[in-house]
Structure 1
């Protein structure tokens, strides 16, 4: 019974191992997801800005082609949240903002990240009938969104891990509560009271309880057999011992009534009987 109880008692360590394993698994999943999500979010937002830049290029190109003699007015009328630079065919530079002059180094039609006045912009260039047109949109909101998301994940991921750990700890504790109840029942059964049984349910713990009850039944039966053997052996040994004691007492009290040879024969015969037993 002691070994059985020692096998049941590590329940709390099982609870800790299950909680630690589940928490570690969730932590790894959340961290990997966060590490992947931040760059993906940045890429999605950047692609959205690049698409807007392409639309701006197409729109401005259409306006310039519709009124080539009004190129300077068209460019100057663009709001300064969008940088526009037009290098005309005759070499004239037309910009809607003085910062747009720094877009001169942009090359190619693909959107490229450039730094203008210590801020990030996404710029793209396209050759039009009016000249080389360069358009740039700010990346500030992209950087702010990515930074805010990063801070949010840094705070949220540990909180989620702690929450999962608490939930698993509580759920595991409730799941193992019947095991503790079963342990207490088994612990209360002593060697002199093997007729008691533990409660058996219908689930896996019920099967374990039924197995314990069968084991207790076998122990009770074995104990009963042992007691019967001890009782029978005691009864059988009592007769030869009584015979030898009677002859010995008679020989002591009346030496003339019992000879040494007769006493020896009795002792030898009863001794062999005891040896057979």
Structure 2
């Protein structure tokens, strides 16, 4: 097994057949810094929820998974065997609500990724319709907002249109399913790749508490921060620290924050899938 790449949360390996193995860890990152404390079961929760979503979205776009069971025993539950792809070098983000970096961009000039939004929106406002807000895909440092025209310049009109349309379709379908389960998906980041024939393939993770913002639907109240079922809980805790400048190395996470974060990931998984986490 050849180790190819280590990301913030996942490691990528190649076996002798040329298949890839994507292995999710229990690490958690905030502000692009991987913290030294892990969240138990997080890697398995992300992997299993992604697999559930891949099934739900099978009619929208093919995905990269070859097998969720044909993996080394030590990685059972947290790894998938997947096909080799040429990954698209743009972060594809769909937003249905105004929050996070999108809110900051709107407050600055009334737009997000070059898209003008109505005046008077506040934090957690529902947008008139979901929007595609791509960003750069930085190996080092922070991603930056780009416009759809920037994507076209980088990738061409045909692929850019596919990316925009599929990102929004995945978000809309996912948001509709989640809302029926009591969860608002405020926004989400989606990864795509191209196979050897040039076909667009859904890759990495999809609609998880790491790649999306999940809010309780019955507690949603525009005008302020929402109660979240994602890693926002860790972000909120870290933002209270006065002795951390958001650079490496990050602080250890207290045991109670670890436990409450894990509980949120489990609750999101159980609400969405209808399955008990054991």
TM-score exceeds 0.5: no
Structure holding more strand per residue: 2
Larger Rg: 1
Q: Select the structure with the greater relative contact order (CA < 8 A; seq sep ≥ 6).
A: 2
TM-score of the superposed pair, with normalisation by structure 1: 0.20
